Amino acid sequence: MKRAEPRGKPAVKGELFIVSAPSGAGKTTLCREVSRIVPRLKHSVSYTTRTPRKGEKNNVHYSFVNQDRFRAMLKKGEFAEWAVVHGNLYGTSAKRLKELSNKGYDIILDI
């Protein structure tokens, strides 16, 4: 007998791929390009407390938040991972990862 999958949910949850390298190595560029050409692969948008650079858009390149908001999210356990890089806080939303995975998307994450 074939097992029925719940309606509205994909049969398979997405996979998580992590690209790790030092700051400035090009990992974000690589992840964005790969996610652009690979169907069902989404690039995770990290939270950060740093100031946006020219041309960066909120919730596209990063989700820009202040230190107080980041620390409140951290206290609530909202990050799958987080780090201090050059004095700024960066973190990956556990909720965003779960939502994308539950929709069947593979996720590429740069750390």
Residues 6+ apart with CB under 8 A from 48: 62, 63, 64, 65, 70, 88, 89, 90, 91
Please tell me whether residue 22 adopts helix, strand or coil conformation: coil
Domain 16-110 has CATH 3.40.50.300: yes
At 35-52, the pLDDT tens digits run 999 989 999 999 999 999
pTM of the predicted structure, to 2 decimals:
0.82
Residue partners of 44: CB distance under 8 A and separation at least 6: 92, 93, 96, 97, 100, 107, 108, 109, 110
Using pLDDT thresholds of 50, 70 and 90, give the confidence band for residue 17: very high
Q: Where are the domains of the chain?
A: 16-110
